[in-house]
Amino acid sequence: LFALLKGTAWEVTDPKRQVVFDAVENAWAPFLYNGLVMDSVAGRAISRGEVDDHRRGHPILASIVLLGRGASAAENTRWRSLVKGWAQRDYYSPPLSNPSLSLTGLARLKSVLDDTSLTPLPEPEGHRLFPDMARAAHRRPGWAAALSMADKRITYYETGNGENLRGWHTGSGMLYWWGDTFANGQYSDAFWPTVDPYRLPGTTASRKVLGNGAGGDWGAAMPDVNWVGGVTDKKRAAVGQYLKGLSSTLLAKKSWFFLDDTVVCLGAGIRCQDGTAVETTVDNRNLGPVGNAPFTVDGSAQPVTRPWSATLTGASWAHLGGHGGYVFPGGATVKALRENRSGRWRDINTGGSTETLTRAYLTLWVDHGQNPADASYAYQLLPGASEQRTAVRAADTGWLRVLANSDDQQGVSVPSLGLTAVNFWFGGTVGPLVADAPCSVLVTEHTDGTATVCVSDPMRARTSLTLTWNRAVSSVLSKPSTVTTATTGASLRLVFGDLSGTRGATQTVKVRPA
């Protein structure tokens, strides 16, 4: 309608129309990457074999072009330039070859690709945290990542109409990631019918056997947890999930610190009484039908034969050729498995194909054992990193400092970035930060002599919160209305009023350290 009525007597002129236009870059673009739309926001559609993440993304690109016809000239040009970049970079599945795209959709995308006046824009960078959706999207030069969680508002997974029958753990902290010119078919190429549904990347899960559609249709199963969310300065983020397992006794505290070239992943307080093993999957990469990507652990090449499995005791880093690296601070015992896995779309969607598909996988996971009482893990994910860069990061033991990794708090500092980030599951002291109640905090000292203190109330329950940064601060440059008192001097003391209505949104205070 915006496009249809543009230039007529019935053109939509209500100022609130800007809400619709702003949604392009605030709500859609964060989940679009090189032509695909991330599976973290696709619900049960991930189980539909005929339309993968790329084929679902192309109609959205065409819709953005159509909406642009009703927007301002500047917005229309920018969006067309964004779409041209996305479409040109979709090497895995070129949009003009999409058989499920409508004729009008194809025409719109072709008009953009043929428009020589348009300069294709690169992928937008930055972090976008969506507390109401229990989702996050992190975008850096050369790669992007997405996180899907669950809370009392957001179900573990969407199932219904016989679709997505084994998506049980997609909301248990699944961490997706893609490269710019590599791994863009990672979740497109028969991933969902062939992957081990108990070992989704990033998740902590019990091996308790679940039935198809476990928990019930249409969002019936939602964990009774409040602390899910985090804080972001729009470039980096600290995100946390209090995890309660689906149809399980599993409990865990999980944190992700999204930084410039890495995602730092911490887990603690992992406990379960299911009588089964509990595992945290570091990654589970789809290597396609061939599956011979080289895998190296601490500089030692591992076999490419399948099946192959090993327990990597005291591993400090690992690297998967064509994908990226993994660093285990202080060393860790990690299990590795290279295998072929077969499955059918019909197994996860009653309307799916009965053809048997086989793909090779390389899986890395931490085995917490049966009925763990207080297990933990820590690792860095480095998307796109070379073997050399992975080894260098592992050797630089001072680059990352894990300040806390317990059932009470999880936090890190990266001195070279001037960054300290803590998820306070309960109030307490972590490094230079003191909080009197649960919250998420991200502090960054910038090279211009200023610092930002970002705070949020993921539980949406705080009627007051006091945060102290034990760092000398000379002045407060800006603060939101939620800050009732800001005291400077030998330390910075921030008193927040009622945060319960902020819906987990980040509150940013800018200061000048002494």
DSSP E strand stretches across 303-450: 308-320, 324-343, 357-370, 375-383, 401-405, 409-414, 419-424, 428-430, 433-435, 439-445
Q: Is the pLDDT of residue 27 over 90?
A: yes
Total Cβ atoms within 10 A of residue 8: 7
Between CA 306 and CA 183 the distance in angstroms is 21
Q: Is the pLDDT of residue 172 over 90?
A: yes
Q: Parse the chain into domains and list their residue ranges.
A: 2-113, 126-395, 401-513
Cβ atoms of residues 239 and 256 within 8 Å? yes
Q: How much is the average pLDDT of 12-41?
A: 97
Residue 331 is predicted with a pLDDT of 97
Q: Is the pLDDT of residue 183 over 90?
A: no
Please tell me the number of Cα atoms within 13 Å of 286 on its side-chain side.
26
Q: How much is the average pLDDT of 229-247?
A: 98
Between CA 498 and CA 461 the distance in angstroms is 8
pLDDT in tens, 423-458: 999 999 999 999 999 999 999 999 999 999 999 999
Cβ atoms of residues 187 and 176 within 8 Å? yes
Q: 126-395: which CATH architecture?
A: Distorted Sandwich (2.70)
Phi, psi of 503 (to 5 degrees): 55, 35
Q: Identify the band that residue 176 occupies on the pLDDT scale cut at 50, 70 and 90.
A: very high
Between CA 319 and CA 384 the distance in angstroms is 10
Q: Identify the band that residue 500 occupies on the pLDDT scale cut at 50, 70 and 90.
A: very high
Extract the tokens encoding 277: 């093993």
Q: Identify the band that residue 201 occupies on the pLDDT scale cut at 50, 70 and 90.
A: very high
Arithmetic mean of pLDDT over the chain:
97
pLDDT in tens, 342-385: 999 999 999 999 999 999 999 999 999 999 999 999 999 999 99
Total Cβ atoms within 10 A of residue 301: 12
Q: How much is the average pLDDT of 64-93?
A: 97
Cβ atoms of residues 375 and 342 within 8 Å? no
Q: Is the pLDDT of residue 72 over 90?
A: yes
Q: Is the pLDDT of residue 207 over 90?
A: yes
Between CA 64 and CA 509 the distance in angstroms is 35
Residue 90 is predicted with a pLDDT of 97
Task: Tell me the pTM.
Answer: 0.97
CATH 3.50.50.60 fits 401-513, yes or no: no
Residue 209 is predicted with a pLDDT of 98
CB proximity list for 282: less than 8 A, separation 6 or greater: 201, 265, 326, 334, 364, 365, 366, 379, 381
The DSSP H or E segment spanning 487 is: strand 483-487
Q: How much is the average pLDDT of 475-479?
A: 98
Amino acid at 151: D
Cβ atoms of residues 439 and 460 within 8 Å? no
Q: How much is the average pLDDT of 180-193?
A: 94
CB proximity list for 439: less than 8 A, separation 6 or greater: 424, 455, 456, 457, 458, 462, 465, 467
Q: Is the pLDDT of residue 140 over 90?
A: yes
Q: Identify the band that residue 290 occupies on the pLDDT scale cut at 50, 70 and 90.
A: confident
CB proximity list for 494: less than 8 A, separation 6 or greater: 453, 455, 466, 467, 468, 469, 479, 483, 485, 486, 487, 509
Extract the tokens encoding 292: 């011979």
The DSSP H or E segment spanning 53 is: helix 53-68
Between CA 510 and CA 512 the distance in angstroms is 7
Q: How much is the average pLDDT of 180-202?
A: 96
Between CA 190 and CA 233 the distance in angstroms is 36
What dihedral do alpha carbons 476, 482, 485, 489 form, nearest 10°?
A: -30
Cβ atoms of residues 442 and 238 within 8 Å? yes
